[in-house]
């Protein structure tokens, strides 16, 4: 199975990188830049999960989010939604933007904070604000958010501070990232120029560090009632 998935992705991808055959479960992440996606074709090539851009900053919602979110459910692919974080905007308002737009169900992957900042004047304020966003999201969806970041930002802002949050790390290489201190990453974005049938544009490729059972265990299971979520969004 590992070899089959790896070979499928190699055939489908026009990239110079060697794909990590050691990992059983592969996925992609998309936004409006990828245009219309044929999720049935994507799934047929061995993709098991997808993260899609939901929101950014104060009030932006990706133009393809709703259609992708619904289509992923119909295709029976594991789905996750991410928020692109902007450091100069109130984190509570950014969390509200996400909650107003994203309806997560049991079986979905936890919300993702896309935190790509590598240089700020006040690192401690950034860390505090990130914690505010994640606390509000965790309270609303009853699940610890996944942190997406690159190695530079991880070592500057995340390590030693957010040790119990799932990590999705970007490192475009054929060598898996090393987070140090025996810390295990959950997702690895290993290529940003992949090609796959069902998507005309280049797309990011990702691996999950575990089994299908472990991926399932990471997904949300005890989501609160719709009424509770509506109350949280109204705050």
List residues with catalytic annotation.
116
Q: Six-digit token pair at 61?
A: 């919602």
Which of 133, 165, 132 is CA-nearest to residue 147?
Answer: 165
């Amino acid at each position: 199975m590992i070899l089959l998935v790896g070979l499928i992705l190699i055939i489908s991808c026009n990239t110079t990188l060697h794909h990590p055959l050691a990992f059983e479960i592969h996925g992609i992440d998309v936004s409006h830049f990828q245009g219309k996606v044929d999720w049935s074709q994507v799934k047929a090539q061995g993709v098991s999960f997808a993260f899609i851009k939901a929101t950014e900053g104060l009030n932006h919602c990706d133009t393809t989010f709703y259609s992708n979110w619904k289509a992923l459910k119909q295709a029976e692919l594991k789905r996750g939604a991410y928020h692109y974080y902007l450091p100069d905007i109130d984190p509570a308002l950014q969390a509200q933007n996400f909650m107003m737009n994203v309806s997560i169900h049991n079986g979905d992957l936890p919300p993702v904070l896309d935190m790509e900042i590598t240089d700020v004047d006040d690192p401690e304020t950034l860390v505090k604000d990130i914690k505010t966003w994640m606390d509000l999201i965790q309270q609303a969806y009853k699940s610890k958010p996944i942190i997406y970041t690159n190695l530079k930002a991880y070592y500057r802002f995340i390590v030693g501070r957010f040790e119990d949050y799932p990590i999705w790390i970007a490192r475009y290489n054929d060598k898996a990232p090393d987070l140090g201190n025996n810390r295990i990453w959950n997702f690895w974005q290993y290529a940003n120029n992949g090609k796959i049938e069902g998507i005309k544009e280049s797309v990011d490729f990702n691996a999950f560090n575990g089994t299908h059972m472990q991926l399932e265990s990471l997904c949300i299971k005890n989501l609160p009632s719709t009424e509770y979520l509506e109350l949280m969004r109204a705050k």
